[in-house]
Amino acid sequence: MTRTRVIAALVMAPLAIAAILLLPTPWMAALAALVVLAGLWEWLKLAGIDDTLPRTVLVGLNLLLMVLLVWASRGDGGFSPVLFQLASLAGVAGWLLALLWLWRPGFTAGDAAWTRAFKLAAGTLAVVPAWCALCLVHSDNFTALAASPALQASGHRWLLAALALVWAADSGAYFAGRTFGRRKLAPTISPNKTVEGAVGGVVAGVAVALAFGSFAGATAAQLPALALVALAAVLASIVGDLVESLLKRQAGVKDSGHLIPGHGGVLDRIDGVLAALPVFALGKDILGF
């Protein structure tokens, strides 16, 4: 399984990096929408929406919400980032509230109508803010859409830094957990995750964020702020991972899908990203790097 996992990562990583660095923001936003909506498709199945038609309608409504956000952000002076920032803020608030969900996971057990509705709403709150945050970072708050190529490249590199820290945290947690894992992090939700793995993920994520942040243009004076935001983003990614583990446990499945060899479904790959991106985008805006 580890070999298959590594091979799949070696295939996917160059394609993802090329898309992040080379695509203009509108095309990157469209590609990202396809990916996160594919993850939402799997989320909805975990939430108990087994029929194809209702899932298609719900995914379509989320796509419509994304389109409306873009349309409402257009103006005579170009794009305004305000709605995207508010959506990212809502995402951060949603993941903070998810800590209560993880603290009392039993209240969404079963197949009652209200628990299904809760999970559907949580899916939208996970996917749409993450997509908005991705657009903010990639476009450098939309200013890069009408700015110089250098500024555009900076936004692209910052998105690579944001995603790389999550990828590194995921890999660091996986290998540190396999090597040193002793104490369970959340045994009732995800028995295989350990405290040692989480620590390894934090160390790897922050280290990679500092390296890629320097590549994106962070100065030496900005590195402490970047490290703080990276730490918060990695911790958020752990929450996202645990929430998806809870969904899978309550649905009685091991993976969200089988699309990616060795990795499961799309949601299995982006659960941490969904939680980390809004934190990173807002932290970058607030601390100014």
Which pTM does this prediction carry? Answer: 0.91
Per-residue pLDDT at 5: 62
How buried is residue 148: exposed, middle or buried, by Cβ count under 10 Å (0-12/13-18/19+)? exposed
Closest CA to 176 of 207, 192, 200: 200
Per-residue pLDDT at 6: 67
Per-residue confidence in pLDDT tens, the chain, 289 aa? 466 666 766 777 889 999 999 999 999 999 999 999 999 999 999 999 999 999 999 999 999 999 999 999 987 777 889 999 999 999 999 999 999 999 999 888 888 888 999 999 999 999 999 999 999 999 875 444 444 445 556 899 999 999 999 999 999 999 999 999 899 999 999 998 999 999 999 999 999 999 999 999 999 999 999 999 999 999 999 999 999 999 999 999 988 877 665 557 899 999 999 999 999 999 999 998 8
**Residue 181 Cα to chain centre, angstroms:** 25
- Determine if residue 138 is left, alpha or beta; phi over 0 gives left, psi from -120 to 50 gives alpha, anything else beta: alpha
Per-residue pLDDT at 148: 47
Per-residue pLDDT at 222: 95
Per-residue pLDDT at 63: 98
Q: How many of the other CB atoms lie within 10 Å of CB of 23?
A: 16
DSSP 3-state assignment of 111? Answer: coil
